[in-house]
Amino acid sequence: MLPMEVRSVSSGQHRIRRWVTADIVAAIPLVFLTLLIFFGRADFGHAKEPLPVAADKLPADNPFSRPSPLPYQAPEFNRIREEHYLPAFLEGMSEQLRELDAITDSSEAATFENTILPLEKSGALLTRVRNVFSNLTSSNKTEGLQNIETELAPLQAAHADNILLNGKLFARVKSLWERRADENLTPEQTEVLRQHYESFVRAGASLAENKKAQIRVLNERISRLETQFDENLLAVVTERAVVVETREELDGLSEGDVAAAAELATERGHDGKFVLEITNTTRVPVLTSLNNRKLRERVWKASAERALGRNGGVDNRPLILELARLRAERAELLGFPSHSAFKLQNQMARKPEAAMSMLTDLAPGVVDRARQEAADLVAMMRSRGKDHDLQPWDWEYYAEKVRQERFEFDESEVKPYFELNTVLEKGVFFTMNKLFGITFRRRTDLPVFQADVRIFDVIDSDGEQIGLYYFDPFRRPEKRGGAWMSSFVDQSALLQEHPVITNTLNIPRPASGEPALISFDNVITMFHEMGHAVHGLFSDVTYPSVSGTNTPRDFVEFPSTFEEDWAVTPEILANYARHYQTGEQIPEELLNKVIRASRFNQGFDTLEYLSAALLDLEWHSLTAEQIPEDVEAFEAAALKKHGIDFAPVPPRYRTAYFAHIWGGGYSSSYYAYIWSEVLAADAFAFMKENGGCTRENGDRIRSQILSRGSSRDPMDSWKAFRGREPEVESLLIRRGLK
């Protein structure tokens, strides 16, 4: 769960996303999840030593007791009930420990076949239940699932420690690593061995026993805090929703948006009123349209001041300060000066200084562009007789006015040409067919966990099926914010498993009986998430630990961001941008305006991202002794330090609700989105230079990037594709900054 803002779901065009969040974490196979926690792919934390053991083996009527009999091991959602999860987790953890005991009990010298191979195969039951559970707790969380998640967090953390701090197991892996030159390993096997060895070392396996004990205590507490942060954010969305008394206050919103707000109000017990929800980012999409300035201010403050304990509400500040301190203490125990230094050691950036340098080098030009854009907005305000200062709740509203004046269109004019099904089938699927020769065939015979979810067979150009693709488009209260890719099954030749991939979005649900007309920003999101999806679908490796999206954070967003630019390629746009009623193509003049407008407001978009990314690195570059007492004061000082404290453009995520870095796996890694965008822009430039959206180009990126996972060093994969190291020129052009 890349992920991946996985998409933070920001509004507007061409901005850095994810919430891959995450986005991506849920795609990691459990066999290697525990080994990735400290290796940098996931950041869940760990826990105490004792691990509950299931009293008996899992009953046969538990759907997780054996691989699903459905095609490609698709989950049996028609049979799975909440009471099945906890017993399956407990038995799965116990089963994996027994499997690892069999490795360490061997009297034979360690080899790849008797140590790494069974390690890769271990934890099958745990993988099955975790992949389903983690997806549902992100996309369809109930109170029951939340309670189970809270109970499981320290248990899973303890399980990770029981593996990564297992002295006997580490001794075998270390012995094999030291003799690797004599083992006649394939390049993929060597890379798998290296990653396992480094995972143990980074987890503390080489530490003295007293320090291992300290690591366990820290991990257990960190795990609980991260889980609590996620739970708090889910609660705060409802807590901070804005109740509007009258229809007149919603002037500027479309009839469809008003109807949706009325439906939500009824669901929340506010009959006759309207409810506007905040999104996971500081900005809120309705701010572009609301004419009522006081209501805009209410909505913006509901978003930007969340989780600060206002009026007795959720307060994440004590949790954040403790979490930052504990992460710093853990890094010091492991021999690193900071959590950032620890986390970036095995990323493409390698050191925090490299990531920080890239961001700070961009900052002056980005701030200048944002100030130029602010001047345009103030001029628009003055032309309309408004003499107040430009505030954050004014930016998107007047930016939309400038956009309309400069490009002579608004979102309400464009949305009728972007109907969800048409965008999916004639836009996203069409592009994947042109690039890779794959097709998507809808099927309705497999069970789903929620009625909105659609399933497709993914068929390769030779007629062979690659795997399954799940599409879950609409926002609902049980779903966390953003958009992301994850998986129910990961590709592995060793396990003879094919990928079962899911894309989850948060597109506003249309009123009953109405078509789903989506914003251009959501169009870009759909292309982005499909980029993650094909990264998982095209995986062609032997070992599950290096499959699909199991790559460094600052590489994993590259394939997804790369796919975004096809959405604004004229030949692609012309195929899917059709009026939902008449079927007519979007007028060429309007289409050209959409493309030109895609670079509008990039100073704002880039600055709010840079602010969040630098905040992340500043928090996680502290030692334990440097952790401040005041969250808001530290945030303000960090922004001022880098010259990015421009009041009308706040960070995309303020500290108190920065899910990527406190609850997700992106601590010290939020910079990865723009790092990956450098790769994406350079890759797309290569495509343009060599014929555009062709099978030859698609096959090249598929064979050298998408199929490789992390079976070789990402920079080696990049160079095999591009023929040289990445260059930033294309990024500056892509963002309209040059």
Active site residues: 529
Q: Are 506 and 17 in contact (CB under 8 A)?
A: no
Chain centroid to CA 156: how far? Answer: 21
Of residues 105, 667, 734, the one with CA closest to residue 347: 667
* Token output for 417: 């040409």
* Token output for 18: 């994810």
Task: Compute CA distances 211 → 49, 204, 217, 335, 471, whole Å.
Answer: 14, 8, 10, 11, 45
DSSP secondary structure string, 557-573?
A: THHHHHHHGGGGSHHHH
Q: Are 327 and 667 in contact (CB under 8 A)?
A: yes
Of residues 559, 526, 548, the one with CA closest to residue 430: 526
Q: How far apart are CA 48 and CA 237, in angstroms?
A: 32
Q: Are 545 and 32 in contact (CB under 8 A)?
A: yes
Q: How far apart are CA 684 and CA 67, in angstroms?
A: 40
Q: Are 460 and 471 in contact (CB under 8 A)?
A: no
Task: Give exposure, 58-80, as e/b (b: 16+ Cβ within 10 Å).
Answer: beeebbbbeebebbbbbbbbeeb
Of residues 205, 133, 144, the one with CA closest to residue 172: 205
Q: Are 223 and 45 in contact (CB under 8 A)?
A: yes
The DSSP element (H or E) to which 195 belongs, if any, is: helix 187-203
Q: How far apart are CA 366 and CA 552, in angstroms?
A: 26
